[in-house]
Amino acid sequence: MNSFWNGKRRFVALLMFLAGVFVALEVPPVIPFIQLPGENFPAGYNIPFTDIRITNTFVAAVIVWILLLLFVVYVIRRRPQSATEVPPGGFYNMFEMLFEGLMGFVGGIAGGRHFRLIFNMFMTIFLIVLVANWMELVPGVDTIGFIHPHVKEKYDAETDKYKVVTTDGFEIYQGFLGISYVNGQCDWISPADEAAADDAALVQAQAAALAAEQALIEDAAYARYQAAHDDHGDEEQGDHADEASDDHGDDHAEEVKESDAAAAAYNDVLAAREAEKQARAGRGCYTGVAPAPWQDGYTGDDKSAKKDIPLHPDPSSEEAKLVPWVVLPFVRVASTDLNMTLALGLISFVMIQYVGFKALGIGYLTKFFNFSTLFKSPLGGIDVAVGLLELIGDFAKILSFSFRLLGNIFAGSIVLFVMSFLVPILPWPFFILEFFVGVIQALVFALLTAIFMNLATISHHHDDDHDHAEAH
């Protein structure tokens, strides 16, 4: 096998490079769209039995869990059952090397009475964060997904619901480096809503026309009534027939006039509606594209609705111009979602406090509320302030943990897809960079947890006194 590939690998690499050039030229990469919160899947993709929409970062988190579970099962089954058995090689050996190395590493930092607990926490966090971070290097993550017009969910206070607004409505500004951002000037109006608005305008116009006619008729009737009253005394009974026919003629003339006024009122309302539409179009908001799968009013059976927004629109076609197209990836790295990193930060915070209470009992609280020296020493007040600062600092750890991981990995994935967009052929150096950033961030997160847990187990007073004794 080896001899077969000798001297041929470079040609394989060259071939792949040429294939990369060809693909980059033939299928230009999609302009990256950057969004900080995890993106919701289209309507209908709920977490089973709930109303909660799946996000693509959640999918990544589930994949991480599954991978880790498989890993755990594998390690437990391959583990040597007795001391005399020869350890298996391959992947298991690599894991053992990693495990032993890290065990020594953590032992040097937090090797004490609570080493087992601290090391378990360290290893758990390290593996979760490591697998989650490295997922950004897998081809297809962040790049394969639903191609859809640019949509955004917006909270509607009136109906207390999230409503999907988009695309036709939204303008995309192309900024530096092809990073696009959204102008939420106008909301998406579904064709159904637009038709309903048209109908409403029609009804309104008819009502206006009717009202105008009614007003004219009433005016005329009043005028006639007035005239009849004024003339009543002078008129003779015999002229009545004549008068009646005259009235009839007058009525006819007025009816023509009434119709004119009604038509004017009718046209006014419709013209106002038309002007409203024109103004919307002038702002770059369009309607009339059928609802897509993620929009209200979409029916899965309706093939015609799908046909109106093709999944891969011809760039030169008119309908493609209406809509800014972006990718909603199926899987986005879990660490780029604040929910994930904040959850890990909270877990780590809770474990720090837990191990503190476990080691020092209720006396652990004196680290934060230190009144013992308040009346004994002249500078006792400083100890109180320091304790309170430490309380604040402990809560700040949550933020610092979660933002460190989020920021590093989010920035890394932006770098990856911006570079893939700018230099589609050669983004490899950045993948190597992100490989190391993934390891380092996982290590930093886990190591800081271990260090803080170890610090929490050490009695504050005892340590202080010890230091003083040594110093003097």
174 near other proteins, rule: CB under 8 A: no
By CB under 8 A, name the one of 87, 88, 104, 184 that touches other proteins: 184
- Helix (H) or strand (E) holding 162, with range, is strand 161-166
Instruction: Kindly tell me which of 33 and 266 has the beta carbon lying closer to other proteins.
Output: 33
Size of the site for other proteins (CB under 8 A): 24
Q: What are phi and psi of 145, to 5 degrees?
A: 180, -170
Instruction: Kindly tell me which of 269 and 442 has the beta carbon lying closer to other proteins.
Output: 442
Instruction: Kindly tell me which of 122 and 266 has the beta carbon lying closer to other proteins.
Output: 122
| Cβ 407 to other proteins shortest distance, Å | 3
**Cβ contact 429:454 at 8 Å:** no
201 near other proteins, rule: CB under 8 A: no
Handedness of CA 459, 462, 468, 470 (dihedral sign): negative
Give the contact letters, 91-110, x = binds to other proteins (CB under 8 A), - = no.
--------------x-----
269 near other proteins, rule: CB under 8 A: no
Of 103, 170, 133, 152, the C-alpha closest to 324 is 170
Q: Which of residues 243-262 bind other proteins (CB under 8 A)?
A: none
Q: Which of residues 428-447 bind other proteins (CB under 8 A)?
A: 440-441, 443-444, 447
Contacts of 139 (CB under 8 A, 6+ apart): none
173 near other proteins, rule: CB under 8 A: yes
25 near other proteins, rule: CB under 8 A: no
State whether residue 323 is helix, strand or coil: coil
404 near other proteins, rule: CB under 8 A: yes
Residue span binding other proteins (CB under 8 A) among the ranges 81-89, 161-169, 406-414, 423-431: 406-414
**Cβ contact 417:145 at 8 Å:** no
**Cβ contact 341:335 at 8 Å:** yes
State whether residue 114 is helix, strand or coil: coil
341 near other proteins, rule: CB under 8 A: no
- Helix (H) or strand (E) holding 210, with range, is helix 191-232
125 near other proteins, rule: CB under 8 A: no
State whether residue 176 is helix, strand or coil: helix
Instruction: Kindly tell me which of 423 and 443 has the beta carbon lying closer to other proteins.
Output: 443
Quick one: how far is CA 278 from the chain centroid?
A: 32
**Cβ contact 314:34 at 8 Å:** no
| Cβ 12 to other proteins shortest distance, Å | 34
408 near other proteins, rule: CB under 8 A: yes
First-residue to last-residue Cα distance in the chain: 71
21 near other proteins, rule: CB under 8 A: no
Binding region for other proteins (CB under 8 A): 34-37, 105, 173, 181-185, 400, 403-404, 406-408, 410-411, 440-441, 443-444, 447
